[in-house]
Amino acid sequence: MRIFGWLLMLALGGLALPSASPAQKPVELPEQLQRLHVLIVINDTDGNPHFNEGLRYDLSRLQETLEQTIPRDRFRCTVLKGSKASGKEILAYYRQLQVRPNEAVLCFYGGHGAIPKGAKDVEKHFFKLVGGDMHRKELLAAMEAKKAGLTVLISDCCSSQGTFVPPKPVYGATEFRSVMLDISPLMRSLFFRAWGTVDLTASAPGEPSWGDNQGGVFTRTLCRMLRNKTVAAFDSNGDALVSWEEFFPKLRQATSKNFQQWRREAIARPGSKAAKISENQTPYAFALGRAAPSLKEAPSRKTIALIGIRNGNDFVLEYKLRWEGSTRWEEVQLPPGATKAHQRELSGEEELPTAEVQIIRAKPLAPFRSHEGSKSNDPEKALRSVYVITKKKN
């Protein structure tokens, strides 16, 4: 955050509310999935430390993407990494997982993968795990056995030839929860408004999956795309939803493009072994599920940007606020412990604006942190995100 004296710039979240229209008959929207169960498997036990470091970057990107796009009460994520990235632990996780038909399951695998030497059937794709390998179909079967509304398996690993090693037992799992307040429109479409089975991997049969100590090309591309604030860039049929059939071609195209850029930069590095880098990396889809019914008949929506500011001091806080592009300041005197909501109506696909806050009362104050929000249909939930202004601690 940049701070100029007492001037602080905030990135704000938005709130989507249905607009009232007596002439329009309300339309009941189709049911959406209520919770996403996420398992991230990162096999960072390779002998190459740069490969392991890149996988850890990918893990951070995935966690941040979830945190920035889905609220904490709408998903749970479990991470298996290091010595815990084993087939036994993956299967144990799914045996114990309680899933309802109106929920979704997502598994992401990062590490090595292959197709058995001499095999022509891409369905024999497998993951290289601690203590022994696991066939992709075995993992997918364990996921589909939960009978969730949506099953998604995504992997960032090679699809070139390798030798399958039978599994051995390993133990353990860790868990984290997110801090996001509402589901982003794109994540809602892909993980809460889709059904069936989605199964895709980072490279086509016979191709390696590439990356470096900053993570995999595919995972970087995937996370960057999933953080889009709107569905407009992916909604090819204009139904206000993004299906996996719409999203995947763009993911495949972007990954291939980013790989070519990465390849050029890798070849240009001193000591590069260009002959070992393949010409292409093209993500491959085994299945893309099915989309939810269209939202074209949904009521029109009014969108507002919303921010809450709470006084964390023991004195009255005086400040003024104005929205980006406005010359009008709103002056506020906020009692100790009180919270003030500020809102501005948005038009069309207008980006979420920033707000400018100037402290009037010249007490030594600490800067307050901002994060990107999302649209919500629940004002009370949106106002759980407030920026707290307090004195600096010596």
Predicted confidence (pLDDT) per residue in 224-239, tens digit: 999 887 888 898 888 8
* Closest CA relative to residue 170, chosen from 93, 113, 271, 264: 93
At residue 116 the predicted structure's pLDDT band, cuts being 50, 70 and 90, is: confident
Query: 196 - beta bridge partners?
Result: 150
Name the more confident of 185 and 351. Answer: 185
Locate 87 and state its tokens. 């087939």
* Mean pLDDT confidence for 343-365: 68
User: Tens digits of per-residue pLDDT, 137-185?
Assistant: 999 999 999 999 999 999 999 888 888 787 643 333 333 333 344 688 8
Phi then psi dihedrals of residue 223, to 5 deg: -65, -40
The alpha carbons of the chain give a radius of gyration, in whole angstroms, of 24
pLDDT at residue 57 tops 70:
yes
| Residue 220: CB atoms within 10 Å | 21
Among residues of the chain, what percentage have pLDDT more than 90? 34
* Mean pLDDT confidence for 205-227: 89
pLDDT at residue 392 tops 70:
no
pLDDT of residue 16: 32
pLDDT at residue 68 tops 60:
yes
Q: What is the mean pLDDT of the chain?
A: 76
pLDDT of residue 150: 93
pTM: 0.61
Are 89 and 78 a contacting pair, CB within 8 Å? no
Q: What interhelical angle do 49-69 and 217-226 show, nearest 10? A: 10
pLDDT at residue 216 tops 60:
yes
pLDDT of residue 17: 30
Give the DSSP H or E segment for 254: helix 244-268
pLDDT at residue 114 tops 50:
yes
Are 318 and 332 a contacting pair, CB within 8 Å? yes
CA atoms of 222 and 285, how far apart (whole Å): 14
Task: Quote the DSSP letter at residue 334.
Answer: E
Angle at 372 between CA 368 and CA 375, to 5 degrees: 130
At residue 321 the predicted structure's pLDDT band, cuts being 50, 70 and 90, is: confident
| Residue 316: CB atoms within 10 Å | 12
CA atoms of 254 and 228, how far apart (whole Å): 14
Name the more confident of 4 and 340. Answer: 340
